């Protein structure tokens, strides 16, 4: 069954992707203007982090949808699962 995004998550991802789009435009301009390589590399580092963080949001949402949809846990247990998954996603993605 396809997983669709909740409005809050979709808005979060949309805003992140629009910022990433702006970063790419800015980097394109920097290259066109033959700016310092170190400055451009700093922007690549920031862009990479932004893309990675966007992916973390999507993976986290997807995993939690799977867990919450297939378990009969109480809210306290789900909160613990969310925290543990958040830690894993932050460390390894």
Q: Structure pTM?
A: 0.77
Judged on CB neighbours under 10 Å (0-12, 13-18, 19+), 25 is exposed
Position 79 pLDDT exceeds 70: yes
Which among 25, 4, 1 has a CA at the least distance from the CA of 13?
A: 4
> What is the per-residue pLDDT across 9-47, written as a single tens digit (0 to 9) for each?
999 999 999 999 999 999 999 999 999 999 999 999 999
Res 1: pLDDT: 52
CATH 3.30.70.520 for domain 7-92? no
Domain ranges of the chain: 7-92
């Amino acid at each position: 069954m396809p997983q669709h995004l909740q409005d809050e998550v979709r808005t979060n991802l949309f805003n992140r992707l629009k910022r990433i789009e702006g970063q790419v435009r800015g980097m394109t301009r920097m290259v066109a203007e033959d700016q310092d390589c170190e400055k451009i590399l700093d922007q690549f580092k920031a862009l990479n982090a932004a893309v990675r963080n966007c992916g973390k949001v999507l993976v986290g949402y997807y995993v939690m949808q799977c867990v919450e949809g297939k378990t009969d846990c109480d809210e306290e247990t789900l909160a613990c699962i969310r925290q543990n998954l958040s830690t894993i996603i932050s460390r390894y993605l």
